[in-house]
Amino acid sequence: MEVWTDKPVAIIGCGGLGAPAAWTLALAGARRLRLIDPDVVELSNLHRQVLFAEADVAQPKVDVLAKRLKRRFDTLQIEVLRIAIDEFNVDEAISGCVGVFEGSDDAQCKFIVSDALVRARHGTLLLPTTGVIAAAISRRTQWMTMTAQSACYRCLFEEPPPAQSLATCETAGVLGPVVGIGGAAAAASLIDAFLCTPSIHESVLVQRNRGQWRKTFVARATDCCCSSHFA
């Protein structure tokens, strides 16, 4: 598949969503991946993070995932960053990448990554403009694609909700197979975005809940920061 360049794809969050996404991208022919995650493998992760085993507990997720990928894809080039993404380091973390898969469990991180992709549209930074922002909880998973002229995450949600108001996999649980399905399918959507399959003016929001799928095309909000670049 001739969609890849020598630039890496950044995987932010290397757990339930990010690990199967990385595997899917490697299967599709990605040449380079940049794995970004500050966490270590925990025993409670294993029912939903299928590339990890009990022997990996307490080891950095980025290191374990890199080892698993290299064992299967010996020509794959992998960079690892054991950091938590914030507004101060995001540009450096994804600089030089062709695209971003955001699959962390941090709502704030999703806005930070979306904002970085929007900033890249001005052409002043060596940042990608294409990405997927994915999430999963309980029996639900969803992801949103972004391209150079599409809507952004703030077109759906203007601001991050208060942290205390959000359910998490720890508090609400998550059905293990849901994150595997979501990570792999969202990675396929990222490949679609590289191929310019979605409308260049719309983001695609895909949601799965209790076995039902729904796809929504999201237009840019006229009062959103991402629209000012096209004014």
pLDDT at 158 over 90: no
| CATH homologous superfamily of 9-230 | NAD(P)-binding Rossmann-like Domain (3.40.50.720)
Query: In 61-211, at which residue ranges do the beta strands (DSSP E only) sit?
Result: 77-81, 99-102, 131-137, 140-146, 202-209
pLDDT at 231 exceeding the cut of 50: no
Residue 75 has pLDDT above 70, yes or no: yes
pLDDT exceeds cutoff 60 at 199: no
Question: For a pLDDT cut of 70, what percent of the chain falls above it?
Answer: 88
Q: Residues 74-81: what's their mean pLDDT?
A: 97
Average the pLDDT over 104-113 and give the result.
Answer: 95
CB 26 within 8 A of CB 52: no
**pLDDT tier for residue 110 given thresholds of 50, 70 and 90:** very high
**pLDDT over 70 (residue 169):** no
- pLDDT at position 137 is 86
Among the ranges given (73-82, 173-182, 192-201), the one the predictor scored with the smallest mean pLDDT: 192-201
Residue 53, number of CB atoms within 10 A of its CB: 12
Which carries the bigger pLDDT value, residue 176 or residue 72?
72
Mean predicted lDDT score pLDDT of the chain = 88
Distance CA 79, CA 130 (A): 19
Query: Which amino acid, 72?
Result: R
Check residue 197 and give its pLDDT: 58
Per the document, the length of the chain is 231
Taking residues 115-120, what's their average pLDDT?
94
Q: Please tell me the predicted confidence (pLDDT) of residue 202.
A: 59
> Which of 97, 129, 126, 81 has its CA nearest to residue 32?
97
Confidence band of 222 (pLDDT split at 50, 70, 90): confident
Check residues 213 and 89 and name the one with the higher pLDDT.
89
* pLDDT for residue 156 is more than 90: no
SS3 of 200, please? coil
pLDDT of residue 163: 65
